[in-house]
Amino acid sequence: MGDHEMPLQQAVIGRASPLARITGAFVYMFERLLPEPFVFAVLLTIATAILAAIFAPKHSLPDILSGWYGGIFQIFPFAFQMVLILVTGYALTSSRPVSAALKRLAKVPKTPPQAVALTVLVGLVTVTLNWGFGLVASAVFAREIAKRHRLDFAWLLAGAYSSFVMFPPGLSS
């Protein structure tokens, strides 16, 4: 971080509420101090290999490596299914009728609380139909709401994705 960034950050934090300052500190910590997820994946892979060597002493290092290598390719069918669900959810959300309906629906709320409530409702309805469709449609709808209402986008996304917590099964389960 350059010298010119810190005074600006302190100036912004100085005017912020106590909650915003606490949040800013955590954001700084997670963005600047924690390593990338790939580093965690590599470290967990190494830790798993070491634990396999310790707790499965009858297996050799080549057995452990071939098990890891074979396991990667066994995940591909599942990963492809997940990608296909998300791509079809995006295709459905991007279609003219659904996109137009989401844009019309985003014009309905008049206040920010109504906007968040409608975002949660749209998330509940779409995730009930299909979780991949709900995942994409909720985010797209939150973006449409954010274009029309002045409120924190994080609240909209939290509302959109809270539908996954409230009604996870849906028809696609």
Residue that has been written with the tokens 């300052």 in this structure: 21
* pLDDT in the model for residue 2: 46
pLDDT tens figures, 1-60? 444 444 444 444 457 788 888 888 888 888 888 888 899 999 998 998 889 888 887 778
CA 107 to chain centre: 25
pTM of the model: 0.62
The residues near 144 (Cβ < 8 Å, ≥ 6 apart) are 102, 103, 106
Q: What is the pLDDT of residues 70-93, one digit of tens each?
A: 887 888 899 999 899 889 999 999
* Structure token digits, residue 30: 């997670």
Please report the DSSP string for 56-92 in residue order: -TTS-HHHHHHHHHHHHHHHHHHHHHHHHHHHHHHHH
Mind listing the pLDDT tens digit for each residue in 132-165? 888 899 999 999 998 888 887 888 888 888 877 7
Structure tokens at 98: 């659904």
User: Which tokens go with 60?
Assistant: 């050799």
Q: Kindly give, in sequence order, each residue whose CB lies less than 8 Å from that of residue 150, ignoring residues fewer than 6 positions away.
A: 112
Domain chopping of the chain, boundaries = 93-166
